Amino acid sequence: MLFKSSTHPALKKTSAIEKISRSAVIWQLIACVAVVLPLIQWLPLWVLLLGGGCIAARLMIHSGRWSFPHWSIRFLLVVAVAVGLLTSFNRDASLNAMVALLTVGLALKLLEIYRRRDALVLLYVALFLSATVFLFEQSILVALYMFFALGLVVAALVSVWQDPLREDMLRPLKQAWKLLLPSLPLMLVLFFIFPRIGPLWSVELDRSSARTGLSESMSPGDISRLTRSDELAFRAVFNTEPPLPTERYWRALVLSSFDGREWTPGSPPQSHAETLIPLSEPITYEIVQERSHQRWLFALDMPISAPSQAQLTSSRTLLSNQEVTTRIQYSVTSVKRYQLAPNLDQTSYAFFTQIPRNSNPRTQILAQQWFDEADQDVPKLIEQMFRHFNETFVYTLEPQPLGRHSVDEFLFDTQQGFCEHYASAAAFFAAICRCPCSRGDGVSRRRVECITKLLNDSTI
């Protein structure tokens, strides 16, 4: 039999000092459940089922109905877990994969706890796993819950060291809070007084989660959670009053190529900057840009020329001569009202209206239908599209992930998303109707400081 009803051999060799009480086992199960609970939404379903099965098996062992599993069962479980992790994460050493590995290790360890050393290993892993929760969530409610979970883990640690003959369930919990509560004043002092420094290490989260900001490619359907970033992007210094907030669109890059899911800059056919017809007086200002480790520079829409350390691309964006690894300063001249390329050549027209074949078929049918109903009038088509967005669509930073036909699923199924979802759908909609279009990306909910320079040269 793989599960024997006799006592595990190791238990016979374990001294009374190394044994743990029956109540300590219960505390370990409680602590493990409390730590894993906030991570449920980030773990594959089979990991949760494995954890539940291991807890159930440990309860059977605890009740005396089963003994500890045979080594062959433990070996098969380890092999099955390794295959499951490779299948679920495709050999991707992401944060989600590491957390899943810790979770399954915690679950499997439950099946062989019969000595104090094993119990301590389990609880130390639980403490480490509890810290990973804050890599996914940093809300006040999560912090309060994890403080409560930490108290349960400490209670489990206290129970490991109590007399095996004592079965007092509440005593470890009381001792744990006696240890934790005096530490609260010190924690508050460190929180308010200790300087806030950046992390000494960083990890890359799964692609289904992202922060507001800029990227050279965008696949809205792959992102199911978008968190706001309050990092300072740059400072803009004006000699006169800065433009109105509605006129402060800071242009950074343009995405013109769409493969059905992902937008990229592509390779526009023209090598020179797009023709610009100014319709307002130029405005000159200075930018102090923080390091971004990218080459894109910010400019008020629309820049006329490029500073000395950058070049003006064909889509009239600023591209630095080298990666921005330190804070830089440059001067730019822009116009607030303008007209771009009134006449496109055939090659450029084909590039800006190309759509992938067999991509988002429902959207193609709807766009063509509305275009015909609008008598092929593009402004009327755009008004109809905006009215459709305002009827039932919801703006959210936590949309549902989308599949292969991301625009179809956004327009007809989920009807929820953030700015990238709406921009992607609108640009694809326009391209179907042979209206040249591209997606301009600028700062998105990142902090920008606009400063009016009041001092003149004589004052200085």
Contacts of 280 by beta carbon, 8 Å cutoff, 6+ apart: 335, 336, 337, 338
The phi-psi region of residue 213 (left if phi > 0; otherwise alpha if psi is between -120 and 50; otherwise beta) is left
- Token pair of 348, please? 């450029």
What is the band of 210 on the pLDDT scale with cuts at 50, 70, 90?
A: very low
Average pLDDT rounded to a whole number, residues 378-403: 82
Distance CA 209, CA 202 (A): 15
What is the band of 311 on the pLDDT scale with cuts at 50, 70, 90?
A: confident
262 closest CA partner among 216, 206, 224? 216
Average pLDDT rounded to a whole number, residues 236-265: 76
> What percentage of the chain reaches a pLDDT higher than 70?
78
Average pLDDT rounded to a whole number, residues 448-456: 41
Q: State the DSSP H helix or E strand holding residue 123, giving kind and residue range, or none if neither.
A: helix 116-132
pTM of the model: 0.47
User: Is 7's pLDDT higher than 80?
Assistant: no
Strand partners, 235: 288, 449
The chain-wide mean pLDDT, for the chain, equals 77
Ranges 27-31, 203-207, 433-437: which has the least confidence: 203-207
pLDDT of residue 256: 72
Give tens-digit pLDDT for 340-382.
766 777 777 777 777 777 788 888 888 888 888 888 887 888 8
Average pLDDT rounded to a whole number, residues 228-254: 76
